[in-house]
Structure formats: C-alpha cells, structure tokens
Structure 1
Amino acid sequence: MDYLRFAAMDYLLFVFMFGVSCIIGIYFGCFHKQTTTTDYLLGGRKMNVFPVSMSLVASTLSGVSLIAIPAEVYMHGFQIFVIVFSIFISSIINYFVYLPVFYKIGLTSVNDYLEIRFDRTIKRITSILYIISCILLMPFLIYAPSLAFNQMSGIDMHIIAPVMTIICVFYTTIGGIKAVVWTDTLQFLITLCTLAFVLVMGIVSVGGFSVIWTKSKSGDRLNIFNMDPDPTIRSSFWSVFIGNVFTWSSLVSVNPAGVQRFISVSKLRDAKKVLAIFTVFAIAAKAINCFSGLIVYAKYSDCDPLTAKYMQKSDQIVPYYVKDVASQIPGISGLFVAGIFSTALSSLSTQLNSVSGILYLDFMKPCMPVNISENKSSTIIKLLTILLGLLNVGFIFVIEQLGSLLELLSSAVGITGGPILGAFTLGMLFPVANKKGTLVGIVSSLVVISVIIIKNQIYVWNGDIKITPKPLNSYGCNKTEYDEQNRTVFSTIQPDSDSIFWLYKLSFHYYVFIGTAITIIVGLLVSLCTKKKSDLGIDHELFSPCLHRFRSSQRPEVDQDLKLVKYTFSNKK
C-alpha cells in the first residue's frame, strides 16, 4: 500500500469534464435564451422525458451517496441495502398521491399549493424551512467530492471547494434549468459508465464474486436482515426501510427541486414516465453503490488503509480504492472523481436553481411593482443564485469539523424534511385538515425533532454516544506493529450511554418519519378541535386522486374560486 495520487491524464480528463459543463451553460444562456421565470425555472414546461429523468437520478445520486454509502457498508455492513425497497415504495406513493396533484395545478412554485390549500402563512413557513434545509444540505454536496479530490491529488480542500462551486454557479446562472438538466444528464451517464468500469476492475482484482461474498461474510458485513425493532439501533431492517420511505418522499415527492423536474415536461403521462425511469435508475445506482462497499471491504479486509493512516476519514475509502484498482489505466481515476464532483454539482445546481426561485417568487416579488419585467425577474434570480453559491462556500469550512457524512446529511434533512412532508400530506390526504391544525403540527414537529437532533449531536460531539464500527483488520499491512495497536482502538471504544434518554439515541434514519408523524397527528387533532364548515369547502383537485372516489367537490363556486386562484398565481409568477 502507498499514498496514491492523480496522474497528468487524470487532471486532463477532470478539467475536460467541467469545461463541457460550462459550454452547455453558455449554449443555453446565449443561444437558447430563457427570458421568463417559467423558462428559467421550468424550461417552458417542454423538457424531454429522458434528460429530466437522468437529471433527477443525478441529483439524488449525489457525491455524498457515491462516497458515504460504500463507506457505510465498509464500516457498518450491508444493512443500508434495504434502501432500494424504500425507494420503490416511495415512488409508488408519489405516483398515486403527490405527483398528480402537483402536475394538475401547474404552479411555478410548489409551495403555492399550501397557500391555495391553507393560507400564505403556511406557505411561507414551509418555504423558509425548505430554504434552511437547502442551506444546510448544500455544503455537504460539495464537501464530499472535495474530500475525494483532496485524497487523490493532495490539493488543499479549501481551494478545491470554492473553485468547483464557482463552476456550478456559472453554468446554473447562465443556462437555467435547461443547462442544469442537460449537464446533469451528461455527467450522470459518464459517472455511471466509469463507476461500472471501476467495479468490474475491482471484482477482478479481488478474485471474483465468491471471494467478495466469503470475505464479507467472515467480516460480518452481510447483515441485511437485522429485524430487531429497537429504534436506537443505528441501522436495522426496520429503521432503514421505514425511515427511508419518508426520507425519499421528502427529497423527491414534495421537494421543490424534485417536483420542479417532474412538472417541466409537457404532459402528466410524461411526468409519470419520468418517475418510472427515475425509480429504475435510482434503485440500480443505490444497489451498485452498496455492492461497491462490499468490494472495497473484500479488497482491504486484511489491511485497512484508514488504520494505516493513508487517509484521514473513512469517507475517503472509495476514492482511495478507485485510484488503487485503476492505477494502471491513466484517466480512469480522474473520470471517477470528476463523476463524483459531477453528481455533487448536479445536486448543488438543482438546489441553487430551486432555492433562488423560491426566494424570489415567495418573498421578493410580492414586495415589488406589479409591472416588473420578466427580464428583470430573471436577472434577480440569477443574482440570488450567485449569492447562495458564495454562502455555500462559507459553510463548507464548518462541515469539515463534523463527523460521518451519512449521519450528518440525515440530520440536516431530518430537521425540516418531516414538517414539510407532513404539511403536504395533510393537505392532499386529509380533507379535515385546516390552517390552524397544520400550523400547530409544523411548529410542534420542528421543535421536537430539532431538540432530538441537537441533543444527539451534542452527545456525539462530547463522546457520550459513539457508534463502534465492525472490526477492521490490519494483519496484512506492512506497518504491523502500528496497525495492531490502532486496530484495538477502532474495535473496542464504546462509551457507556445508558444514562442518556432513549429518544436522543434514536437511529438517524427515523428523523423524517418522526417529524412527518408529529405534523400529521398534531395537525389532525388541532384541526378536529378547531374545524369549521368552511374547511370542507375545498376543491377536489387539491386532494390526491385516490380520495376522489370518496368525495366530490363541495360547492360549485369552489371550483370557480380555484380556477381564479390558479389564474392569478400563473400571472403573478
């Protein structure tokens, strides 16, 4: 084993990949100008099915996933594989519950639904929560690939992260949603091909599937059916399955960035095709991700590079492995790290495009003159995109002081994901839900889940809660004496946490589930206590189609009101 670094060809291909991204942004910004907010944010609702599908997959298959999930399998086992079942169930729910409603009302800002269904206060609260979640999430997206690039090149991460963010801000600002979608598609396909090539090389270098299976089994990495219902277990079948059904619903089904993709195609039928293609590719990508963790473990089952100090964090194990197995073919490592950056920038560009639109449409435009031109609106959104990119760079310097990427990402999503998902679910599935109940439900959920997550992170920071990874062997390393000494550290540290209240030890997979459940339960109870006859006079188009057979539109004038509101929103936006 040795310190592994990029070759000249790796750098060349890496630079080439991002040069193409900038060219795409310039092309859509200069030769296919998008002069209206609808063009900039939704591509004029004329996007093609395939690139939109690939953009969605690329946005969810972030650099965090490509790095953190294999590292999770390497350190803690194969239990995370259950996420593929969660993605399937989440997509079915989206197909029948959320997607038809969002597409039919056809609003530029997804949160406008909450204003029509409840009132402007609910909409603004959820918009603020979404913006907060994105601001928390975006630094993780760029930090993970920066960590990989640092491992491969030795270049300071504080230089890499700002440069990559500037590139992303450039093509997102210039080209809008069209540049984002087509750049995502190109980057994802190259990433997928490179990942498949590296995996095949890894399988060959280890000795085949039988060797991977044998070593993973002997290393206790094949723990996929841990059916223990204890919610404090870090990863069990139930925590991964149940938790990720809700997490993926919050990230895709009601997330403005995800919905923005679905409604950018011309027909509902096409939107459903996008969802189907997305589901297949997302499941395949996650499955490959998980299996790559087993390959990496089989490769280093007798000599852990983390113990040998060839890296600083377990999240660097994947780029180290790639450079190791592909060292004989110049350029492959560069393409792979470019792919990790590509998926990260795909997610980042999606968030930048979505958040800048929400900031402008929900908070700035109502305060501006009614006759403001579309050109000025588009310019303001672009300036917001630039400012958000700069803010993201600042937060990256904070992230590096924290712990595991997967847990931190789940915590960032968990604080706001549950209340937002709960609010949309109350609106679409529960006719009795009113604005008072929804408001109390959101606030209650936000307070409870914030206390749980913040207290948990405090205990982790102080070392009162520490998750012990599965054993990491080092008997095959050259630094035998040093590694044997450190092997004990990795396998035996387990502070006594019995005195900590169980709620603060909950698995991070459950955070969005808890937030959603509290929002719905509290929201329904308060709604039942404060209900009025007028609460039932809501157009059936605002409810999921699966409820239509059980209810009809309450009053003819309600339909007329909804059409008027939709017309007003369309002209405002």
Structure 2
Amino acid sequence: MSRYRGHRSSTGEWIRKVTMPTQGSTIFESVTTVLPQVSKMIPSISFSWYDYILFCTMLGLSAMIGIYFGCFGTKQNSANEYLMGNKKMKVFPISVSLVASHISGLTLLAVPADVYRFGAAYWLFVPAVVPVVLFTIYIYLPVFCKLQVTSTYEYLERRFDKTNRLFASFLFTLGLFLYLPIVIYIPGLALSAATGINIHYITPVVCGVCIFYTTLGGLKAVVWTDTLQFTVTTGAVIIVTVIGIKSGGGVGEIWAKALEGHRLELFDFDPDPTKRDTFWTVSIGFTFGWLSMFIHQSCVQKFLSVPTFRQTKITVVYFTIGITVIASFSIFIGLMMYSRYAHCDPFTTGVVQKSDQLLPYFVLDVASHVPGLSGLFIAGIFCAALSTLSASLNCLAGTMYEDFVLKVTGPINSDKRAALVLRVLVVIIGVVCTLLVFVVERLGGLLPLAISLGAVTAGPLLGMFTLGVVIPKASCRGTFYGSIMGLVFVSWVVTMAQYYKAQGLMVNVPKPISVDSCPANVTTVAPSLTTLDIFNVTQSTGDPEQFKPFFLFRISHYYYTPLGTMVTIFCGILLSCVLRNDDPPVDRDLLSPIIYGLLDEKVPDEKSKEYYRLDKALHLVTTNWEKDDCAKIKT
C-alpha cells in the first residue's frame, strides 16, 4: 500500500478493507451510489454547430481530392500509377503522408491516456529512432531500391521462394485486418462520446468516405488527403497544447506536477524484463518495433515512390522527425491532462469510462470556450485514423493483388483491368474492416490482444527480412520454418499473458492519483483508487502472491517484437545449417551492401547469375529481363 502514502489513515483503512475479497460489496456500493452523484455535478460538454461544420468540411475536402485524382488527369489507369504514383512523387508530400498514415487514433488518444496513468516512459522512443534510421537506410532500403519491388514480399520470393513470400503476405494481411478495425473504432468512440451520435451511424459514413477517395484516387489521393489531414491534425494538436499549457498554469507548473506525481521517471535502468516501463524495455522494444514498421509494406511502398535513392533517404529522415514531433506532443498532452486532473481523476468519478474518452473530455473541458476548436480537434483525430486507414487500404490492396490475385488469375495484361481489380480490392477490404468494427465493440479485450498480435506478426516478419538481407547462408526451408517457430512461440507467450491478466494474476499498477479536489467530498470514499484498480481488485479470486505465472508470460509487452525477431533469426540460422540446403548461391542484389566485404568475390549479381533451379529461372523470365540476360539461364 506504499503507493497510497500521504493520505490520512482512514483512507488507508478503507483501501485495506476493499482489497479483501470479502469486502467486494463495499466497492460496488461506492461505485454505484457516490460516483454517479459526482458525475452529475460535472457540467455536460458537447459539440456545437461550429464543430459539426468543421468536421463535415474535412470529410468533404478529402472526398473531393479522391474525385480529382480519380476522374481527371491520368485517372490512375495502371497498377504502377495506382500503387506507386509512377515513381514521380515528391519528397515533402510523401514524408507528410508517411507521418500522417502512422499517426492514428492510438497515438493521439491512447498515448496521452497511457502517460496520464503510467507516466511518460513512452518518450524513450526518441533515442531508439537513431539506430532505426541507420539500419533502414544502410541495411534494408538499398536492397529494396535496387530491386524496385512493388511488394516487399516480392523480395522474399526472389531471395527464398514462393512459400516464404506467401507466408509473409499472410502475416501482413492478418495483422492489418485485426489492426484496422481498432484504428476505426477508437476515434469513432471518441466522436460518439463528444456528439452523442451512435457509433453504428458514425463508422459506416466516415469509413465510406475514406473507401471512396482511396478507391478513386489511388496513391496520389492517399498522399494528398494525408497532407490535408496531417495539416488539420497538427494544427489541432498545437492549438490544444497551447490552450492546455495556459489552463495548466504554464510549462513549469505542468512539469512540476508531473515530477511530483512520478510521471517523469524515465531512467529506470532496472534490467528486469518483467517491469512494464524501464529504460531497457522501452528502448529495446521500440528499436525492434520501429524497425519492423520502417520495412513494412506501407512504408516501403511510399519510400520507393520517389525517383532516386537519395530522395528516399531524405524521406526516411523527414518521416522520423515528423512522427517524433507529433508523438512528443501527444506525450506532453498526457502530462497536461495529469496536471489538470491530478486531484480529481475522471476515471474515479465515472465521468470517463474508457481511456480513449479521456483526451476528448479534456479538449471539450479546456477548449469549449473557443468556437469550433473541439470539432477541429476531433476532426484531427479522425483525420489521423483516416490517413492510416487509406494508406493501409492502398498497400494491402497492392499486396493482395501481387501475392494472391495474380497467383490465381495469372498476369493481367491490361493496365485498366489491373487498376479496376485494385479498386475492387480496396472496396472489399474497406467493407470488411468496417464490419469488423461492430465485432470489436463487443469484444472489450480485443484492443490489447490486437496490439499484441501486431507485435507477434511483426517479429517473424522482421526476422525473415533480416535473414534475407544479412545472412547469405539462410536457406528457404530454414527461414520458413524459423518464422513459423517465431510466430508460434510468441503467440504462445502473448496468449498466456493475456489469459493471466484476464484472471487478475498480473496487474499493471498505475501511478498514484487522487480525487481530493472533486465535489461531494469524494476523498472520504476513494482518494486514489481508480475504476481500473477497482476492476483489478474484484477480478482477483485470491492473493496473487500464491501463484506467480511463468517468467516469459510476465515480460513487458515491449519485448514481444524483439522476442519474435530473435527466435525467428536463431531458428532460421540453426535450421539452415541442419537441413539439407540445395539453394543456389545468393546474388549480391539480394543482400545488403554492408556485408559485401564478407562475400566471395566470385558471387555474381542477379543479371549475370546462372540459375540452378527451375523456379528461379522462371522468375527471371517473368520479370522481363533483356534477351541477352535470359540466354544465360541454364537449361
């Protein structure tokens, strides 16, 4: 009970009583009688007509961009233009689009709420981006740029075989189908809380607009709508930050309260991997997590849409700076929310029921006197979600087209027909993701499970690409079986961890909070016990110390991606050595330049290489190499 020190003894006695299983009725009596009375005393805040106008204007402009690129000019009549913008895109809009598509409602809503409850350890992602940028520019991107692949998983087929490519595409597709409904649901929940409109009406309308402009305009519409939406999002975040600083008494006062409330304990060097937020767990976890994101299909597709490799490197740097700045704003907003509610916790009073509602409540609270600002900010949150959704629809359609549709139909010779197939895929994917939102809202535990599943699929994918570009001895079968082992192993760890959390045997204890300054003398009820703590207490059937889950099940969620990557790489190398390897020699074009010094000088590049397997030779033919190159293939 050390986390509640500083309150009077009667408070401590109350807390000790409610943590006993036999006193569960005391908790629910307090929650059902006192807290609702407190919530009634807090003024009701909601959207005004200014807010509705701004929100609808944003949706209308996004739709008009899609109409422009879909119905005028070249009309996106080829697969290359639809997916890659004919490789004539500029650095700035591509960089902005990358930032916009990776700043979703999770960043703008979940991160501030997490900082409010658990502190600003998330800020340790900043030092992690330095090695990520270096690894991306000097290890992975040179290979992708040289090969000019439409799908990053096409690389896995060239490096290994079709089986590895299809498995990687399957992981990518599964991850997005589980992630996108959450991206849609979180801001929909926020808008529903602000307007009172049923989320069942909000989701189809907003998603329909996104599907419409993505289907018509392709990558160009995605990039330019992302630019518009990023401008709205950034402007809203900056304005709210300024107003929040003013309402909190200035940066110094906010910082002082954050220090006092233990929200800035960033440099915890405890090596214990079971602790939720330490310097090592966050830094290492983000290094692997960001690296998997940078070689993600949605990123690489845009990296390669600029004309030169130099511009690609500049795009990576701009992307990193942009996402770092926006994420830092989100973290500081979390500190501002703590400064305002440090002594009147909205979760305890019942005003806020879910973490995703905390930031909209804060915005409506501090900015309701500025006409239209609340609507601008909620529109900014939805812009972030739409940017992520549109980019994901575009790249997922490209992946499914390259890796699944063409495997069934064979090459599509007509550019117009190929573009039509891509548009149909976008519509189908968008409709499925929209329908899955109605599943998400009925499965309350799906959000943490889906985030964990994203890490589980990211780890094996990062391991597969790493084996391909830096381990010349990695074989087809070794990499395939290694990635399966990585997926199964981390899935097992995540599943068991979620199970024990559901049983109340593993609880992430938040930082201290209180309700000392709330109306109705709430401090006599629960000065520092939030609703989530109450839930965790009542879910425990006994003393958690009587049973401690296995060590691996208790590791921080930040370690899931590193764990999946390391298991995949280790098993891939081991199995490549153990299993009979009949793969041909690997050509230089498929390996990272950083290991060229370790290669045999006789190893040729792909254009001059003699192939020893029929599927490799057929691949060379289908990619339209010049006749003099094709003549070198051995029969």
Q: TM-score, normalised on structure 2? A: 0.86
Q: What corresponds to 2:417 in structure 1?
A: 376
Q: Is residue 51 of structure 2 the alignment partner of residue 51 of structure 1?
A: no
Q: Is residue 313 of structure 2 the alignment partner of residue 276 of structure 1?
A: no
Q: Is residue 435 of structure 2 the alignment partner of residue 387 of structure 1?
A: no
Q: What corresponds to 2:54 in structure 1?
A: 13
Q: What corresponds to 1:295 in structure 2?
A: 336
* CA shift for structure 1 position 560: 2.4
Q: What corresponds to 2:122 in structure 1?
A: 80
Structural mapping, 1:469-488, within 5 Å: 469-481=510-522, 484-485=525-526, 487-488=528-529
Is the CA contact 1:107–1:570 (under 8 Å) kept in the aligned structure 2? Answer: no
Is the CA contact 2:175–2:453 (under 8 Å) kept in the aligned structure 1? Answer: yes
Distance 2:492 2:419 in 1: 39
Q: Is residue 77 of structure 2 the alignment partner of residue 35 of structure 1?
A: yes
Q: What corresponds to 1:568 in structure 2?
A: 622
Change in Cα spacing, 1:268 to 1:534, as seen in structure 2 (3 Å) is same
Q: What corresponds to 2:372 in structure 1?
A: 331
Change in Cα spacing, 1:484 to 1:131, as seen in structure 2 (3 Å) is same
The Cα offsets for residues 295-328 of structure 1, whole Å up to 9 and x where unpaired, read as: 1100111111222222211221111111111111
What is the alpha-carbon root mean square deviation over aligned residues?
A: 2.1
Q: Amino acid of the residue matched to residue 340 of structure 1? A: I
Structural mapping, 1:368-517, within 5 Å: 368-370=409-411, 372-401=413-442, 407-408=448-449, 410-481=451-522, 484-485=525-526, 487-488=528-529, 490=531, 493=536, 495=540, 496=544, 498-517=547-566
Percent identity, please.
Answer: 40
Q: Secondary structure at the match of 2:510?
A: coil
The Cα offsets for residues 188-232 of structure 1, whole Å up to 9 and x where unpaired, read as: 122112211110110011101121112111211111111111111
Is the CA contact 1:410–1:508 (under 8 Å) kept in the aligned structure 2? Answer: no
Q: What corresponds to 1:340 in structure 2?
A: 381
Is the CA contact 2:232–2:379 (under 8 Å) kept in the aligned structure 1? Answer: no
Is the CA contact 1:173–1:382 (under 8 Å) kept in the aligned structure 2? Answer: yes
Change in Cα spacing, 1:438 to 1:238, as seen in structure 2 (3 Å) is same
Q: Amino acid of the residue matched to residue 554 of structure 2? A: K
Structural mapping, 1:95-114, within 5 Å: 95-114=137-156
Distance 1:427 1:72 in 2: 36
Q: Amino acid of the residue matched to residue 324 of structure 1? A: D
Alignment equivalent of 2:278, drawn from 231, 236, 245: 236
Q: What corresponds to 1:521 in structure 2?
A: 570
Q: Amino acid of the residue matched to residue 286 of structure 1? A: A
* CA shift for structure 1 position 371: 5.1
* CA shift for structure 1 position 410: 3.2
Q: Secondary structure at the match of 1:306?
A: helix
| More moved, 162-171 vs 16-25 | 162-171
* CA shift for structure 1 position 367: 2.0
Distance 2:583 2:171 in 1: 28
| More moved, 75-84 vs 556-565 | 556-565
Alignment equivalent of 1:261, drawn from 288, 297, 302: 302
The Cα offsets for residues 431-465 of structure 1, whole Å up to 9 and x where unpaired, read as: 11111110111110011111111122222233332
Distance 2:358 2:60 in 1: 27
Larger radius of gyration: 2
Change in Cα spacing, 1:410 to 1:308, as seen in structure 2 (3 Å) is same
* CA shift for structure 1 position 395: 2.0
Change in Cα spacing, 1:355 to 1:156, as seen in structure 2 (3 Å) is same
Distance 1:278 1:234 in 2: 28
Q: Secondary structure at the match of 1:560?
A: coil
Q: What corresponds to 1:64 in structure 2?
A: 106
The Cα offsets for residues 79-136 of structure 1, whole Å up to 9 and x where unpaired, read as: 1110122223212211111111111100111101000000010000000010001101
Distance 1:229 1:106 in 2: 42
Q: What corresponds to 1:310 in structure 2?
A: 351
Distance 1:332 1:76 in 2: 28
Distance 2:185 2:120 in 1: 24
Alignment equivalent of 2:586, drawn from 530, 538, 559: 538
Runs of 5+ unmatched residues, structure 1: none
Q: TM-score, normalised on structure 1? A: 0.95
Q: Amino acid of the residue matched to residue 119 of structure 2? A: G
**Number of residue pairs matched?**
569
* CA shift for structure 1 position 567: 6.7
Is the CA contact 2:515–2:523 (under 8 Å) kept in the aligned structure 1? Answer: no
Is the CA contact 2:589–2:605 (under 8 Å) kept in the aligned structure 1? Answer: no
Q: Secondary structure at the match of 1:559?
A: coil
Alignment equivalent of 1:245, drawn from 277, 287, 297: 287
Is the CA contact 2:516–2:527 (under 8 Å) kept in the aligned structure 1? Answer: no
The Cα offsets for residues 21-53 of structure 1, whole Å up to 9 and x where unpaired, read as: 000000000013111111111111111100000
